[in-house]
Structure 1
Amino acid sequence: MTGRSRVTVVEPGLLALVQDLGRTGYAHLGVGRSGAADPVAMRLANRMLGNDESAPVVEVTNGGLVLTVDGPCLIAVTGAPLSVTVGARRRWTHEVIAVGAGEQVALGTPRQGLRSFLAVRGGFDVPPVLGSCSTDLLSGIGPAPLTAGTVLDVGLATDPRPTTDLVVAPPPPMPDEDVRLPVRIGPRDDWFEPEALRMLFRSRFEVTPDSDRIGVRLDGPSMPRRIRSELTSEGVVEGSLQAPPGGRLTVFGPDHPVTGGYPVIAVVRARALPMVAQLRPGQGVRFHRG
Structure 2
Amino acid sequence: MTRALRVHATGPLALVQDLGRRGLSGVGVGRSGAADRGALCQVNRALANPVDAAAVEVTFGGLEVEVLDEGLWCCVTGAPCPVRVDGRDVGSHVVFYAEPGARVVLGRPAAGLRSYLGVRGGVTVEEVLGSRASDVLSGVGPAPLAAGDVLPVGGPGKRFPAVDSVAAPDLAAEVVLRAVRGPRDSWVDDVEALVATTWSVTERSNRVGMRLGGAALRPARDQQLPSEGAWRGAVQVPPSGEPVLFLADHPVTGGYPVVAVVVDADVDRAAQLRPGDPVRFRWVEVP
- Specify if TM > 0.5: yes
- How do 1:13-24 residues align onto structure 2 when only pairs under 5 Å count? 13-24=11-22
2:224 paired residue number: 230
1:93 corresponds in structure 2 to: 92
For 1:210 and 1:102, locate their aligned partners in 2 and report how far apart those are by CA, in whole Å. 38
Matches within 5 A, 1:233-248: 233-248=227-242
Q: Distance in 1 between matches of 2:164 and 2:183?
A: 43
Deviations along 1:167-214, one digit per CA (max 9) or x if unpaired, are: 2112012125x4111101011012122xx2221111111001121000
Shift, 1:4, TM fit: 3.9
Which residue of structure 2 lines up, in the alignment, with residue 10 of structure 1? 8
Partner of residue 258, structure 2: 264
Q: Are positions 1:187 and 2:183 aligned together? A: yes
Corresponding residue of 2:170: 173
The structural deviation recorded for 1:223 is 1.2
**Counterpart in 1 of 2:63?**
65
Match of 2:135 in 1: 136
Structure 2's unaligned 5+ residue stretches are none
Once the two structures are aligned, what percentage of the paired residues are identical? 46
Query: Structure 2: how far apart are the matches of 1:80 and 1:18?
Result: 16
Q: Does 1:207 align with 2:206?
A: no
Tell me the equivalent position of 1:251: 245
Shift of 1:120: 0.4
Report Cα offsets for 1:237-261 as digits up to 9, x if no partner: 1011000123311000110000001
Check the 8 A contact 1:215/1:250 in 2, yes or no.
yes
Partner of 1:282: 276
The equivalent position to 2:191 in structure 1, one of 175, 190, 197, is 197
Contact 1:50–1:159 (8 Å) recurs in 2: no
2:93 match: secondary structure: coil
Q: Which amino acid aligns with 2:133?
A: S
Q: Determine if contact 2:219/2:241 at 8 Å carries over to the other structure.
A: no
Runs of 4+ in 1 over 2 A off after TM superposition: none
Which amino acid in the other structure matches residue 181 of structure 1?
L
CA distance in 1, matches of 2:201, 2:274: 7
Q: Which runs of 5+ in 1 are unaligned?
A: none
Amino acid at match of 2:274: R
- Which TM-score applies when normalising by structure 2? 0.96
Q: Secondary structure at the match of 1:266?
A: strand
Measured in 1, the distance between the counterparts of 2:106 and 2:81 equals 7
1:136 and 1:142 in contact (8 A); partners too: yes
CA contact (8 A) 2:46 2:161 kept: yes
Deviation string 1:148-168 (CA, Å, 9 cap, x unpaired) is 1011011101141021xx221
SS in 1 for 2:84: strand
Query: What's the RMSD between the two structures over aligned residues?
Result: 1.0
Q: What is the alpha-carbon distance in structure 1 between the residues aligned to residue 240 and residue 118 of structure 2?
A: 42
Choose 209-218 or 221-230, whichever is displaced more.
221-230
